[in-house]
Structure 1
């Protein structure tokens, strides 16, 4: 008879698990008691100096943590510029947690990285290089471990950006970032990282403290570094800022974006793209919105589907609204064309309504910020209490162009308005605030056509009808920075007739 009871398989595995657990706990206790990570500070500093030629300071302690997952925490770090003792960045605290078992497979799987109180200075030099080129440069030698990060969190972060080439300087403050890995692989782009990202920050200008834009953006990120591919799907952006003397600025945008940089020239696309912006003050507001089903750029080749837009300017006593559309765009960044551009505008001001319709093919150069309406046609109709009962109609044709680099615009129009033949030239510069100049030539102008409609039951004086007219053009132009001239071949008003009339307007 066997003196020892038979051990079942279940009991055997239970004892084995208990033994391994005790061994693991004992190892953890031993590491906590015996191992001092701060002893490795000099070696870490030496490696950074040797590999990256930057000075690393570890002024705070390095501590180990094992719950809820093993990890290490650094406090009060700072890093210098490349081959320079000037400070590039400092961090209040970094906590990194990782998984133990993947280390045996030479895989570093990071559960979570928490960064608190990062402050960094990013510089783009005049030659196009940056002060982080050495940090992001790929090494020829393969990494010993494969990195896999589950979650990244950042809070109380500040990034100062300076572009020496354009002499611009911005500060991103109060950056809060949460990025969670959604999938380890993406079938559409091979081995890739998928992550859900939520980011908030404030944009400020060091020399203009009154400008402060709060921004929140969410998107799902797909990133494949090997194929140089990234995509932002379901992107939603909301921004708001208080602008000096103009009220509040609002921006909203959404869409799906992707870029592939592996091919020569790269390939970019935006689908279901929307963009809305506006400025609101106490007594006025301005809003404009644009949406497009698809925008694409491959190398220099540009393709788009139909683009639609709306705009509205609401003043204390006036309302201007409009909408425009562009047919599909074909061409390149330096030479593109849309066969049909249409715009409809409507203005209401103290009982007067003006409607205008414009159409033309559109061409341009995005790189030079230049647009051209080479075959512009316009139809105009005005009605109101101070105009004839049938209103005023006109049809004009000509061309217009805009130079975005200089902020200048030109237009040349010919046609008829209220049975008068008109030839006009317009130009605008310094678009904010605008400076307008014009030359208008009219062959014959009968001001009686602009007189108010006769009221019902109004009696006419015997022998001669009483005619009167009133022009308030100068009142409507008050506050505009403009100059120009109006030439009229024959001017008629009641029994008055004049030839070769010229009116000059000066600022």
Structure 2
């Protein structure tokens, strides 16, 4: 009893001394005197500037604490602020320090502002603050140690943030966001110990576009050393604009856990609901989605998968069409010892301009995780558009290994059936077979597809590597490929779509090249006989390369319309720019233009060279931004729609009245020529004829002013200068003798489909009258008007004398 009293008295004395010492520390020591030394230490250790513009206060009871006002820390070797705090308070229990434990009663931070950056090299601007402090020579590696060599254990009773703002900039992904009104509180935080968290904030950004309010609650467990994270009672609520979505409401609840060492996830009671819109090249609106997963456990490295009653449903609008999505996985159990489960099914339907019904079913699960066998994976579907129906029926067994992360569909077989009144026989059947193999561990996949199309063989193969940023290598070889039968152009409305007063002009179609941004691919294409949008070609070959948002089609070659094609094409998503540089050699123009435009306004054998580019987000914008050059050389041809020589023979009746002759395009008429050459320059959608030379038996044609071809307006405004030659040959030439060497302007104007031709006789009347007198002198008197005046007067006098004898 005496010893107990002595110990108690000693403890009381020690506590009294400690209390007196701590009180003296608070009373006698001014912590503001240490601002400078602390700032110097931070500068020396991190090469950052620490400023404390407010007061520093100590407190002793009930815990040892410190409160700092107006604190800021700069970026390394810079005056730019990395983080600033209006007020920060930390209090630590005293007695646990004696046993090597740091028990923080509370951390409270008000007005935190931080600028977080990830640089191009992947490092963050705060990583130097996380590194270990410099060690004295001979100090062993390891964590922070107390005097006895034991690691210090941290235990925080709670953390509270109010009024925080974070600026987040990621140069690797090119993103920039800002977090405002950050408020967060936690319960006790200690290693491997669950703690409650309640967080709310507003997130803003332009790249990606974000403006949302987020609330998160849950009981978290975080173990960085073991790479373990879990959230019990996780509850997320968000509204507003998030990357690629506009959420009227987004909620997620459940229990989640991730084990990084085992590469396993474990989820139970998960429920996700979303109402809103989804952006993209084909945006979705009015989406109502729900996901339920009462039990989901996956550890692929261990070969374990457990799914119970998983269901996903969604509905909404895809453009003007309604869509529905449903997925069901009643039960799936895979382990290293066995695999079994009920059929998994999925279905996508689309109702509107196009009706789509696509179904996936997976059944017959057996084997083990390393040798997983699925008896049948079936993909069936039907697409209806107007009178056209396309049906797909395909299936394959599946073999997989979860630990080795391999899967293969070795015997894919099926058929594509096309029903269309426009097809010969009203239908087309295409049997298909192929295979797919993927090794996710090596990030490699290969696929092959063979088909028989209209009696010809079709073969396509592809290999994919680097799944995070896929690189695709492909080849396509086909005997015959009629894209107009397989992928017909959108059909016009009934009776031509209606062009009356009530009909509206179609919207300017968009040109979206963004799909190229996420593709890296290269390959070759060879087609024996190709039909596309009415054009027919043979022996088609090309090399294709897509990288960094740009697609290049090079070494393009084909035989077509009695001639050949060579050249290149490109498309650039960064600038939404396209370009083509083809050369057509010795092609027959009439069938080419008839197949391309259903008009054959120009006949003959032609060589055409184009070098054109266009930029814009719509077809109309691209037409208005068309630039480049074009050259044309045609032999033994004709211009359809007008007969210039015939119109010139009717000059006498029109000339007396000084009246121009305007005529509309007539398909039955044509102007023959032996040779045509033209050079055009395009700028901002307007083509200018820089040179024109047409040679015909009786005529020569050159360019005049204006010389415009309006691509956006689809109109001609050209002046052709026609000169009559060789009038001594045949009756046709004699009829035009009075027009010999006279240049007659012919104005071609109006829409591409039906231009008008106006012979401007009013501008050539004087020249024609001079030629008439000249020809009469030659015919009646045998006199050349080019002779000298005296000689000419003598000959006229002699001829007149002969007339009166």
Q: Could you tell me how far 1:323 is from its partner in structure 2?
A: 1.0
CA distance in 2, matches of 1:104, 1:10: 22
Q: Could you tell me how far 1:76 is from its partner in structure 2?
A: 0.9
CA distance in 1, matches of 2:145, 2:213: 41
Partner of 1:403: none
CA distance in 2, matches of 1:251, 1:439: 44
Task: Between the two structures, name the one with larger relative contact order (CA 8 Å, sep ≥ 6).
Answer: 1
CA distance in 1, matches of 2:53, 2:64: 23
Q: Could you tell me how far 1:52 is from its partner in structure 2?
A: 2.8
CA distance in 1, matches of 2:345, 2:420: 24
CA distance in 1, matches of 2:215, 2:41: 38
CA distance in 2, matches of 1:260, 1:246: 29
Pairs within 5 Å for 1:66-215: 66=60, 69-138=63-132, 140-145=141-146, 146=152, 147-181=154-188, 192-205=192-205, 211-215=210-214
Asked if the contact 1:180/1:197 (under 8 Å) is kept, the reply is yes
Partner of 2:427: 421
Residues 377-414 of structure 1: CA deviation (Å, up to 9, x unaligned) = 125799xxx99xxxx99853369xxxxxxxxxxxx972
Asked if the contact 1:396/1:416 (under 8 Å) is kept, the reply is no
Three-state SS of the structure 2 residue aligned to 1:305 is strand
Q: Could you tell me how far 1:486 is from its partner in structure 2?
A: 9.8
Three-state SS of the structure 1 residue aligned to 2:111 is strand
In 2 relative to 1, CA 381–237 (structure 1 residues): closer, same or farther, beyond 3 Å? same
CA distance in 1, matches of 2:496, 2:307: 44
Q: Could you tell me how far 1:325 is from its partner in structure 2?
A: 3.5
Three-state SS of the structure 1 residue aligned to 2:187 is strand
Three-state SS of the structure 2 residue aligned to 1:181 is coil
Residues 408-452 of structure 1: CA deviation (Å, up to 9, x unaligned) = xxxx9722659963569xxxxxxxxxxxxx855599xxxxxxxxx
CA distance in 2, matches of 1:301, 1:160: 41
Residues 31-71 of structure 1: CA deviation (Å, up to 9, x unaligned) = 33212111222222222223333221111110123455441
Q: Could you tell me how far 1:230 is from its partner in structure 2?
A: 2.6
Asked if the contact 1:285/1:315 (under 8 Å) is kept, the reply is no
Residues 353-386 of structure 1: CA deviation (Å, up to 9, x unaligned) = 9683512569xxxxxxxxxx9953125799xxx9
In 2 relative to 1, CA 118–10 (structure 1 residues): closer, same or farther, beyond 3 Å? same
In 2 relative to 1, CA 65–441 (structure 1 residues): closer, same or farther, beyond 3 Å? same
Partner of 2:291: 290
Partner of 1:321: 324
**Paired residues, number:** 397
Partner of 2:222: 223
Asked if the contact 2:327/2:345 (under 8 Å) is kept, the reply is yes
In 2 relative to 1, CA 85–342 (structure 1 residues): closer, same or farther, beyond 3 Å? same
Asked if the contact 1:345/1:355 (under 8 Å) is kept, the reply is yes
Higher deviation after alignment, 104-113 or 71-80: 104-113
CA distance in 2, matches of 1:154, 1:322: 42
Gaps of 5+ in 2: 134-140, 147-151, 279-283, 335-340, 364-375, 396-413, 431-482, 512-530, 535-594, 598-617, 620-805
Q: Could you tell me how far 1:310 is from its partner in structure 2?
A: 0.8
Asked if the contact 2:287/2:316 (under 8 Å) is kept, the reply is yes
CA distance in 2, matches of 1:442, 1:222: 54
In 2 relative to 1, CA 216–47 (structure 1 residues): closer, same or farther, beyond 3 Å? same
CA distance in 1, matches of 2:496, 2:233: 52
Partner of 1:3: none
Three-state SS of the structure 2 residue aligned to 1:49 is helix
Three-state SS of the structure 2 residue aligned to 1:45 is helix
In 2 relative to 1, CA 243–291 (structure 1 residues): closer, same or farther, beyond 3 Å? closer
In 2 relative to 1, CA 83–260 (structure 1 residues): closer, same or farther, beyond 3 Å? farther
Higher deviation after alignment, 223-232 or 245-254: 245-254
Pairs within 5 Å for 1:45-84: 45-66=39-60, 69-84=63-78
Partner of 1:233: 232
Partner of 2:398: none
In 2 relative to 1, CA 125–340 (structure 1 residues): closer, same or farther, beyond 3 Å? farther
In 2 relative to 1, CA 472–304 (structure 1 residues): closer, same or farther, beyond 3 Å? farther
TM-score, scaled relative to structure 1: 0.62
In 2 relative to 1, CA 177–339 (structure 1 residues): closer, same or farther, beyond 3 Å? same
In 2 relative to 1, CA 275–422 (structure 1 residues): closer, same or farther, beyond 3 Å? farther
Partner of 2:586: none
Asked if the contact 2:174/2:207 (under 8 Å) is kept, the reply is no
Asked if the contact 1:380/1:395 (under 8 Å) is kept, the reply is yes
